[in-house]
Copies of this chain bind each other. A is one copy, B any other.
């Protein structure tokens, strides 16, 4: 799995295939992929960056798809719970999952200059952590790595 986010890609395709994958998954698991939920995911896929809940809400408002915070928080909760989106705790923001459908431990590379976020995978890290923690008796159910640094573009800009 490559880190996604700091390179060119066919963006229209990635929006379409993302939605398609979730359509299929929801059909399979009898989850209700309702208009608001679908639109919120579509917004995240389109923007292709971490967005605050209120940024998303502004867009929904303009489209009469719900105008109060709980609407967007509930949609985001659904998306995150089922792994279609991730929350970037460090930014209080949300981003569409870049590895839709694959079971993974996400690792986020967050640019401190421009707030761009790329999603890599940290599966090996999980194992490493697992060793370190097995002594303590703690059982890991879910883990996320958030790394702060500079993306290629901002490195150039800083020179």
A residues contacting B by CB (< 8 A) are: 2-3, 5-7, 89-90, 107, 109, 111-112, 118, 120-122, 124-125, 128-129, 132-133, 135-152, 155
Is B138 a contact partner of A109 (Cβ separation < 8 A)? Answer: yes
Is A122 a contact partner of B128 (Cβ separation < 8 A)? Answer: yes
Q: How far is the CB of A57 from chain B (nearest CB, A)?
A: 20
Top 8 closest pairs, chain A to chain B, by CB: A89-B89, A125-B125, A137-B152, A143-B147, A3-B136, A124-B128, A140-B149, A141-B149
Q: How far is the CB of A31 from chain B (nearest CB, A)?
A: 22
Task: For A6, list chain B residues within 8 Å (CB).
Answer: 136-138
Is B129 a contact partner of A155 (Cβ separation < 8 A)? Answer: no
A89 to chain B: closest residue by CB: B89
8 contacts between A and B (CB under 8 A): A3-B132, A7-B136, A89-B89, A107-B129, A118-B138, A137-B155, A141-B148, A143-B148
Is A121 a contact partner of B112 (Cβ separation < 8 A)? Answer: no
Task: For A2, list chain B residues within 8 Å (CB).
Answer: 135-136
